[in-house]
């Protein structure tokens, strides 16, 4: 008989909370509870990532589902005393919504959580990812059992196809159709691969899923393996994700022990096993053919298609590659039916999408929303608006393959087709919110620096084209922009898109084209007026001390690394513009708002 506890304290053990000290908080809680002799009544457990990373370390206390943020070891005695001895809600660590200015104790009442719909993340903050029994306790592996013992490959593929699930890695290709092609290809040996080489700057969906619910991904792969007739799966995971690797290894070992991986799974006669493969740090390996080259031990460079991987993939055998989030959706579809899944989302984009919401927004974290939700709802209802009461300027969606969408089109619904119309792509799920202190030309330069560096060099349009774009953008941000530069950027971008070999090149100019489309005036200000309206591009700005406001406190003078600020105590200071390197330290250190950027 399992012991029944009156209270469960679930401490988040995602990367964010762990680095903020959540495991130390857990240990302190356990010690403190023992001190009060309550260990028979209260259970402390760790769970996968809660998603609300900005509020870490987080604990959720059940049965009431009260959400506590920013816990620390010093507060633990007080916390235990209040919560468990006196039986009160600990107000100090409750979440408060700025606008409403009230404390919100229950997790699911908080705007960040309330507006989400969980499918791929259904076990969020509820299970310990290192314990397979907890996953099974939440209907885990029921879908596998159904698929393996009751369904034919054709029936699985049909169910996935009917659900309308599309690839969550960015392409948005129908998963069911991909599986169907591979199922119909003849071959004794086939492979099913999972792309966990997450590399878009500003995206951490896959990391989250692997760390908090690794079995969901394994299950998706087992079902996919049965559907296409593969007995071997590989997960291509970044070596820079140590926690995800550790949890996957644990999950695979436990699944083998339970007979859910290996020979004759659940007595169905179906053999399947999964192996991890560590990526070696090349963004282009997120492209399917490049990823397969990499598993084969070669330089990860894409090859032309056809033949498509469904016919000739890894080691020349029929292969299916899907993204982590796509696999996490599969067991839910088998379990709850395609009709349920396709009732979520829009006409052409079914289900939900996980986004990594970051940047200048109040509530940073991982969210899952139904397709078709507007950007406004994501930024304001879930994200809690812009930090420090600044203005929303742009939303970067889709990483280096996507684009910057201006505040004026914030009512655009988030689904594959609507976002493509704006010039961006839904992509793998990075969503970076930017306030008015960001310069759009500088952001375009940032992304091109990334793609130019990560271009594998196989095809000329991408290798040379991205360099030219980058050089031009550098010229513009450093004050060397000329009349006609915008047109050159546009022409080269179009050429790269039409002639590159793989998705990396075909989408690399998107950040440039979208920023020109929506923020052309900023480019023009850089080129013609030699000014950076956001005050970000160092070559085009100067820091000036307002003599009216300067109190002569000497703080900026002491901080200046160039020692180019002069002035006596209690008299207004002056910056020598010829020596200033525009590091901005004076601007940040000034307590009187006396320094302005021009």
Partner 1 sequence: MNIYHVTREFDTFLKRENLSGYKDRIDSILEIYRERPGGLIPVLQQVQEHIKYLPPVVQHYIAMGLGVPSSDVYGVVSFYSFFTMKPRGRHLVRACLGTACYVKGIQRVIDKIETGFNLKMGGTSEDRRFTLQGVRCLGACGLAPVVMVDDDTLGEVDPSKIVKLLEKYE
Residue whose structure tokens are 């590159």 = 500
> Is residue 278 at the binding interface for partner 1, with CB under 8 A as the rule?
yes
Question: Which three-class secondary structure string do you get for 40-70?
Answer: CCEEEEEECCCCCHHHCCCEEEECCCEEECC
The verdict on 280 binding partner 1 (CB under 8 A) reads yes
Q: Is 282 in the site for partner 1 (CB under 8 A)?
A: yes
In the DSSP assignment, the letter for residue 387 is G
Helices 205-212 and 242-257 cross at an angle (nearest 10°) of: 40
Residue 587 near partner 1 by CB under 8 A = no
487 binds partner 1 (CB under 8 A): no
24 is a contact residue toward partner 1 (CB under 8 A) = no
Structure tokens at 112: 């960040």
Say how far apart CA 557 and CA 580 lie, in whole Å: 12
One of 364, 395, 473, 527 touching partner 1 (CB under 8 A)? 364
Provide φ and ψ at 483, rounded to 5°.
Answer: -55, 135
524-583 binders of partner 1 (CB under 8 A): 583
Considering only 113, 179, 283, 518, the residue that binds partner 1 (CB under 8 A) is: 283
Q: Which of residues 324-343 bind partner 1 (CB under 8 A)?
A: none
Whether the CB-CB separation of 205 and 325 falls below 8 Å is answered with yes
Cα–Cα distance measured from residue 542 to residue 562, given in angstroms and rounded to the nearest whole number: 14
Q: Is 294 in the site for partner 1 (CB under 8 A)?
A: yes
Cα torsion through 339, 342, 343, 349, rounded to 10: -170
CA dihedral 59, 64, 66, 72 (to 10 degrees): -40
Any contact of residue 207 with partner 1 (CB under 8 A)?
yes
Q: Which is nearer to partner 1, 15 or 163 (CB)?
A: 15
Sole binder of partner 1 in the list 235, 432, 550, 590 (CB under 8 A): 432
Taking the C-alpha atoms of residue 358 and residue 204, their distance in angstroms, rounded to an integer, is 10
CB 329 within 8 A of CB 120: yes
Our finding on whether 592 is near partner 1 (CB under 8 A) is no
CB under 8 A: which stretch of 18-26, 66-74, 249-257, 568-576 binds partner 1?
18-26
Q: Which stretch binds partner 1 (CB under 8 A): 142-150, 165-173, 279-287, 565-573?
A: 279-287
DSSP secondary structure, 179-242, as one string: HHHHHHS--S--EEEEEE---STT--HHHHHHHH-HHHHHHHHHHHHHHHT-SEEEEEEETT-H
Using CB under 8 A as the binding rule, whether residue 295 contacts partner 1 is answered as yes
Using the contact rule CB under 8 A, the part of the chain among 24-32, 78-86, 202-210, 417-425 near partner 1 is 202-210
Name which of 315 and 528 has its Cβ closer to partner 1.
315
- Which one of the spans 65-73, 148-156, 305-313, 442-450 is the region binding partner 1 (CB under 8 A)? 442-450
Please identify, using beta-carbon distances, which residue of 53 and 66 lies nearer to partner 1: 53
Q: Pick between residue 107 and residue 227 the one whose CB is nearest to partner 1.
A: 107
Query: Segment contacting partner 1 (CB under 8 A): 173-181, 198-206, 494-502, 563-571?
Result: 198-206
Report how far residue 505's alpha carbon sits from residue 456's, in angstroms, rounded to the nearest whole number.
10
Exposure on the CB side of residue 255, measured as CA atoms within 13 A:
28
**How many Å apart are CA 402 and CA 423, to the nearest integer?**
8
How far apart are CB 358 and partner 1 at their closest, in Å?
4
> Looking at beta carbons only, is 237 or 516 nearer to partner 1?
237
Which residue in 281, 285, 286 sits closest to 171, CA to CA? 286
Interface segment toward partner 1; rule CB under 8 A; list 17-25, 69-77, 150-158, 517-525: 17-25
Give the binding-site size for partner 1 (rule: CB under 8 A): 56
Pick from 312, 273, 272, 265: which is nearest to 293 by CA? 312
Does position 213 bind partner 1 by CB under 8 A? no
Residue 322 binds partner 1, judged by CB under 8 A: no
| Nearer residue to partner 1 within complex by CB, 85 or 539 | 539
Torsion over CA of 181, 185, 188 and 194, rounded to 10 degrees? -20
Asked if 512 touches partner 1 (CB under 8 A), the answer is no
Nearest to 14 by CA among 50, 66, 65: 50
Q: Contact between 427 and partner 1 (CB under 8 A)?
A: no
* 3-state secondary structure labels for all residues of 467-507: HHHHHHHHHHHCCCCCCCHHHHHHHHHHHHHHHCCCHHHHH
| Window 229 to 248, contacts with partner 1 (CB under 8 A) | 239-242
User: Applying CB under 8 A, does 302 fall inside the site for partner 1?
Assistant: no
Q: Is 315 in the site for partner 1 (CB under 8 A)?
A: yes
Among 20, 121, 156, 527, binds partner 1 (CB under 8 A): 20
The answer to whether the CB of 489 falls within 8 A of the CB of 512 is yes
Q: What tokens does 384 get?
A: 């809690």
Site string for partner 1, 45-84 (x = CB under 8 A): --------xx-x----------------------------
Binding partner 1 (rule: CB under 8 A), the pick from 204, 341, 416, 518 is 204
Among 154, 259, 267, 281, binds partner 1 (CB under 8 A): 281
Find the part of the chain contacting partner 1 (CB under 8 A) among 32-40, 294-302, 497-505, 526-534.
294-302
User: Which residues of this protein are in contact with partner 1, per CB under 8 A?
Assistant: 15-16, 18-20, 53-54, 56, 198-204, 206-208, 239-242, 277-283, 294-300, 315, 356, 358-360, 364-366, 396, 399, 430, 432, 434, 438, 446-447, 450, 454, 456, 583
């Amino acid at each position: 008989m399992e012991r029944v506890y009156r209270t469960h304290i679930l401490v988040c053990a995602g990367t964010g909370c762990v680095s903020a000290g959540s495991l130390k908080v857990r240990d302190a809680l356990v010690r403190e509870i023992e001190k009060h002799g309550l260990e028979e009544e209260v259970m402390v457990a760790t769970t996968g990532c809660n998603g609300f990373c900005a509020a870490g370390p987080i604990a959720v206390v059940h049965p009431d589902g009260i959400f506590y943020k920013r816990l620390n070891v010093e507060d633990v005695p007080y916390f235990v005393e209040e919560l468990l001895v006196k039986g009160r809600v600990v107000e100090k660590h409750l979440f408060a919504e700025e606008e409403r200015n009230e404390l919100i104790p229950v997790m699911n009442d908080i705007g960040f959580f309330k507006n989400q719909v969980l499918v791929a993340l259904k076990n969020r903050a509820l299970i310990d990812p290192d314990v397979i029994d907890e996953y099974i306790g939440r209907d885990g592996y029921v879908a596998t059992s159904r698929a393996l013992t009751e369904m034919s490959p054709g029936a699985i593929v049909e169910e996935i196809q009917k659900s309308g699930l599309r690839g969550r890695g960015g392409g948005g290709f129908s998963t069911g159709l991909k599986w169907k092609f591979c199922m119909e290809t003849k071959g004794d040996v086939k492979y099913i691969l999972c792309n966990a080489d997450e590399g878009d700057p500003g995206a951490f969906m896959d990391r989250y899923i692997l760390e908090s619910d690794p079995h969901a991904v394994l299950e998706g792969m087992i079902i996919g393996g049965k559907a296409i007739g593969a007995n071997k799966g590989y997960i291509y995971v970044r070596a820079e994700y140590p926690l995800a690797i550790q949890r996957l290894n644990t999950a695979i070992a436990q699944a083998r022990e339970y007979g859910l991986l290996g020979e004759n799974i659940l007595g169905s006669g179906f053999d399947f096993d999964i192996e991890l493969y560590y990526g070696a740090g090349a963004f282009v390996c997120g492209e399917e053919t490049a990823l397969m080259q990499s598993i084969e031990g070669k330089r990860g460079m894409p090859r032309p298609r056809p033949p498509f991987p469904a016919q000739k993939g890894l080691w020349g055998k029929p292969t299916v590659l899907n993204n982590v989030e796509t696999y996490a959706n599969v067991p839910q579809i088998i379990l709850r039916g395609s009709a349920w899944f396709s009732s979520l989302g829009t006409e052409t984009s079914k289900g939900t999408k996980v986004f990594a919401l970051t940047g200048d927004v109040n509530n940073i974290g991982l969210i899952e929303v139904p397709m078709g939700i507007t950007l406004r709802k994501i930024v304001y209802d879930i994200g809690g608006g812009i930090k420090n009461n600044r203005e929303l300027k742009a939303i970067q969606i889709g990483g280096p393959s996507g684009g910057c969408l201006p505040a004026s089109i914030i009512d655009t619904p988030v689904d594959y087709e609507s976002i493509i119309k704006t010039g961006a792509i839904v992509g793998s799920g990075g969503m970076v919110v930017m306030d008015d202190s960001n310069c759009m030309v500088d952001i375009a330069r940032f992304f091109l620096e990334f793609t130019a560096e990560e271009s594998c060099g196989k095809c000329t349009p991408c290798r040379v084209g991205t360099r030219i774009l980058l050089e031009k953008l550098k010229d513009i941000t450093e004050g060397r922009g000329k009349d006609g530069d915008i047109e050159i950027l546009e022409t080269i971008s179009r050429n790269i898109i039409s002639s590159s070999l793989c998705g990396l090149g075909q989408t690399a100019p998107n950040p440039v084209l979208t920023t020109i489309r929506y923020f052309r005036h900023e480019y023009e200000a850089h080129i013609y007026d030699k000014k950076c309206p956001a005050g970000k591009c160092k070559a085009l700005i100067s820091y000036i001390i307002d003599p009216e406001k300067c109190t002569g406190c000497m703080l900026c003078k002491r901080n200046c690394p160039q020692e180019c600020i002069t002035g006596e105590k209690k008299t207004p200071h002056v910056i020598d513009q010829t020596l200033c390197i525009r590091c901005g330290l004076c601007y940040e250190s000034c307590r009187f708002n006396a320094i302005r950027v021009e």
